[in-house]
Amino acid sequence: MGERFLHKPVLLQEVIHFLNPAPGETIIDATIGGAGHAAKIMQMIGAAGTLIGIDRDSESLNIARERLKSLEGTFKLVNRNFKDIKSIVQGLGTGKVDGILFDLGISSIQIEAGERGFSIKSAGPLDMRMDRGTQLTAGKLVNGLSEFELSGLIKDFGEERFHKRIAKGIVRAREEKEIRTTAQLAEIISASVPHKFRWQRIHPATRTFQALRIRVNGELEAIEEALKDAPELLKKGGRVCVISFHSLEDRIAKTTLREFKVSGVCRVLTKKPVMAEEKEVLENPRARSAKLRAAERIT
């Protein structure tokens, strides 16, 4: 399984440049996933360094552990939501750290596991939970929310222009039978949008799936909470890097880093978001929408 999920981390060289990990430092990977970034960070901090890896997905942590165990240095893996980053660091007793990386959104591990219900392309149950110990699933939202609530969810978290049509199509379909799978939902959404928009580069269900995933996992609230705690956890000169994959995430990162700058706590290292070069996008299509922002604590 480890080999299957040795995915390529996005913007790896750019992350290393801005995070600037050095021998002996303590770095937090707040969304470690399959440890693509973490493995490189551990190589940089060396035998005297410490990596703290956080992920709410226990399967991801198992893969990360296998990937990191052959590397020099200490790593500590924590199975919790990164919104709790402050209490996690306090619980570990590591003191202030030298860097924090947030690689937001869904991981390759979750996308490729059809049974997790994240992917439009892989048939599976309507789940979408990053932490399988939680109760809310995409299926409960799709089959339980009113048409008005579905429309608002798809509009707010998916930024989908056809949110009303899609919500109406979902409600009409579930009146006949419960919507249980990703394949069913994707088909319903495709049939709900105007015909000329069904064959675009982006699948017509992409934004609705994004909206459901964000709601199921409380992603935006977690990002806001964790980012606001980041400066307090950093040493002077410590850096925070944020990789986002859609405008809602990037807006939070941009606004929060700007607040750090205005308050005089941090300086922003990226005037504009750093994006992948064409070569990386060709090798790793997931990098196409990735945006990196970074800041450094100065007080």
Separation of alpha carbons 2 and 168, rounded Å: 41
Please spell the DSSP secondary structure of 80-117, one letter per residue: S-GGGHHHHHHHHT--SEEEEEEE-S--HHHHH-GGGS
What number is the average pLDDT over the span 69-75?
Answer: 94
Separation of alpha carbons 82 and 80, rounded Å: 6
* The predicted structure's pLDDT at residue 190: 95
* The predicted structure's pLDDT at residue 3: 42
What number is the average pLDDT over the span 247-253?
Answer: 97
* The predicted structure's pLDDT at residue 113: 59
Q: How many CB atoms lie within 10 A of CB 268?
A: 14
User: Are 127 and 117 spatial neighbours (Cβ–Cβ below 8 Å)?
Assistant: yes
pTM > 0.85: yes
Q: What pLDDT digit, counting tens, does each position of 94-114 carry?
A: 999 999 999 997 766 666 655
Separation of alpha carbons 17 and 53, rounded Å: 20
Domains of the chain: 12-109+219-297 (3.40.50.150), 117-217 (1.10.150.170)
Structure tokens at 150: 């579905």
Structure tokens at 62: 């198992």
Q: What pLDDT digit, counting tens, does each position of 138-152 carry?
A: 999 999 999 999 999
Give percent of the chain above pLDDT 90.
83
Count of helices and strands (H, E) across the chain: 13, 8
Which of 29-43, 199-213, 245-259 is predicted with the least confidence, judged by mean pLDDT? 199-213
Please spell the DSSP secondary structure of 220-274, one letter per residue: HHHHHHHHHHHHHHEEEEEEEEEEESSHHHHHHHHHHHHHHHHHTSEEES-SS-E
Structure tokens at 15: 């992350």
* The predicted structure's pLDDT at residue 2: 42
Separation of alpha carbons 219 and 232, rounded Å: 21
Closest CA to 290 of 167, 107, 42, 86: 107
* The predicted structure's pLDDT at residue 108: 62
